Chain A
Amino acid sequence: MIKLKAVLDNEDLVQMSRKNRKNSFLHALKRDYLLYGLLLLPIAYLIIFKYAPIYGILMAFQDYNIFQGIGGSEWVGLDVFKFIFHQNSFYRALTNTLVLNLLDLVAGFPAPIILAILLFEIRYVKFKKATQTVLYLPHFLSWIIIGGMVYLIFSSHGMANNLLNALGLGSIEFLSQKTNWLIMYVIVGIWQNAGWGTILYLAAMTGINRELFEASDIDGCSRLRKIWHITLPGIKHTIIILLILQIGRMVSIGFDRPFVMGNSLVSEYSDVISTFVYRVGIGSGDFSQATAVGLFQSVVGLIFLVTANYIAKKVGEQGIW
């Protein structure tokens, strides 16, 4: 029975190769109509909600009028971009985005690696499990909740300043002084992400051949040497892939974190591209400008990603594609 089916399939294949492409596609459609049927909804979803907005990018080259739509609005070429590139507030948002992302990269990227190595080195399973449970928790909190907690803890009469005052150190303007705000922004980011970030590294570490550790034990290697020569090389690929992805996100920035953590006193540092797009687009209703800024961000982000991937491959590493 199975054999017969296989033979039939084979004959089908021979016949297929004789016919033209269209027929073979019809044949595939007939054979796998259930599978194609399953794909219908996801594809429709992607076309409507992912590809249609790409068409909407045309707004960036128009003097878009919401009542006339893309079809009826006047084309202005690159005028919108020229206008944006002459605006100081755009450069401020761009610079802030780059600065905040760079700080996140420098301070935030190594944090999960260090934590993962420590967790991997711990031999007390119960302690390890309990610590992990607690460390993953912040990842599941929204930025609204985190922002609220940060405000309540670090405002002028929050816990942090209470403690400083009790110790006679005087209060610190954690959230309203610009440099302090930057530091807080980065620290809170690490607080939220470092624990969760360990998961991928720990997964990679469990994939390291145990024999390597056993052999190095026999050779009397110190712990640090084992970390340096076995653990770190074992997670190198993961580190590089995550690094590529993070560099690719250099110009794009989430909305919630800067929006919730920022306040009017530090807007000089906290106004980033995403909040700029929100203010200009939704706030002032200037859709063309906001779309143009979004397009600029997407394109530059893509260039960053492709470049980082290219460099990684050039130096002999596995890229993300």
Chain B
Amino acid sequence: MESGSLQLNGISWTVFRMGETTWLLQPNTDKGMLDIIHQTAFLLEESDIQDLRDVIPAYESLTIIFNDSDIDLKKTLSGIDQINTAPKLLPEFHEINVCYELGLDWKEIEINTRLTKEEVILIHSSIEYTIAMMGFLPGFIFLEGLDDRIAVSRKENPRIKIPSGSVGIGGNQTGIYSLESPGGWQIIGRTADSFFDVEKKPPTKLKAGDKIRFNPISKEEFDKMVAKNG
């Protein structure tokens, strides 16, 4: 099928063929879309589908990639439609220690939000976020749930290098740069925790759908944690 719709995990999805081996699926619903996408991504991976190569959950879509181009998508996914008997994704909770002192863009954030640094920290660390997705780069973590009051536009000139563990705000999103990388988000703090290790299987203990809360720590505590993590 080139495009159309199909039933998957008890829901109707709009399907678009995006490549020889790749399909883009969008749930035909507005309600709880992110949760549906996470649950379905998990279900697909647990279902032992032949030749399934990659499943990429994102905010409003699910991209699935197969090893081969001669896949009959409807047939391949037809059995995966029993929401009651299917395995369920169990979100885990992670508390992440953040040293807000190590933020790089406080001036810009205070001007843009018209709030003090302390007020921004209080708001940012009081919310329970959901991991919406990982990517664009390894271990980059997009979080859903930022309070509109502390939304700040991206930097005019993106940085060439953002240190690993940086916590940032980009528009109405917040997230973590697990690895050192370029980027345009406003940096409000840094965590000493490491979320991406190529030696580990899987490379991160976090997964889409998990819950996160930030816990403010001092520079002294941060330094101690860095020392401890080696």
Real complex partners, A and B? no
* B interface residues, Cβ below 8 angstroms from A: none
* A interface residues, Cβ below 8 angstroms from B: none
